Homo-oligomer: A and B are copies of this chain.
Amino acid sequence: MPELKPDFDLVLNRTTHVSTDRVWKAWTTPELLKQWFTPKPWRTADCAMDLRPGGRFWTLMESPEGDQFSGEGCILEVVPERRLVWTSALGADFRPNPSGTDSMLFTAFIEMEPEGTGTRYKVTLLHAEADGKTKHEAMGFESGWGAAFEQLVELMSR
């Protein structure tokens, strides 16, 4: 587990009846991820995931009006059905992403473990500074990542 800095970091905890292997599958299968990763009414128009340390994790989000937001990232750690770590600070092959003055760069720890037949789910975002946390919170971290997870649960419950 990463060492948390309360002023810098964001944590989301959820539980679901969806089994851990299915939560993992939803996170690591691009065709599934595209169906839940972006809260409606936006959608994930495209996605690439090379599931290994140094592999690219890229998403293209799109609004109903056709506005697009491209997110370049890099997979850092893969522990099947337990833990997926990725960062927006790097891209494919661990290459640094152009950062400009973007204080919102983050590293995401996606953690899951079985609870009964369901799953205990936790998202932790580490930022470089307090400003990154504040901006991410203002953009709706809890509602955004929470809504996305509800979409995952709905999808994997079908």
Which of B3, B89, B95 sits near A96, CB closer than 8 Å? B89
Q: Taking CB as reference atom, which chain B residue is nearest A98?
A: B128
Which parts of A95-146 form the interface with B (CB within 8 Å)? 95-103, 105-107, 126-129, 132
Contact B93 A126 (CB under 8 A): yes
- The A interface is mostly helix, strand or loop, or mixed, namely loop
In the complex, whether A77 has a CB less than 8 A from a CB of chain B is yes
Which of B54, B98, B127 sits near A129, CB closer than 8 Å? B98
Q: For A77, what are the chain B residues with a Cβ–Cβ distance below 8 Å?
A: 53-54, 94
Contact A95/B76 with A89-B89, A89-B90 known, Cβ cut-off 8 Å = no
Q: For A53, what are the chain B residues with a Cβ–Cβ distance below 8 Å?
A: 53, 76-77
Q: Taking CB as reference atom, which chain B residue is nearest A97?
A: B128
Most buried by B among A2, A87, A96, A99: A96
Q: Taking CB as reference atom, which chain B residue is nearest A95?
A: B126
CB distance from A148 to the nearest CB of B (A): 21
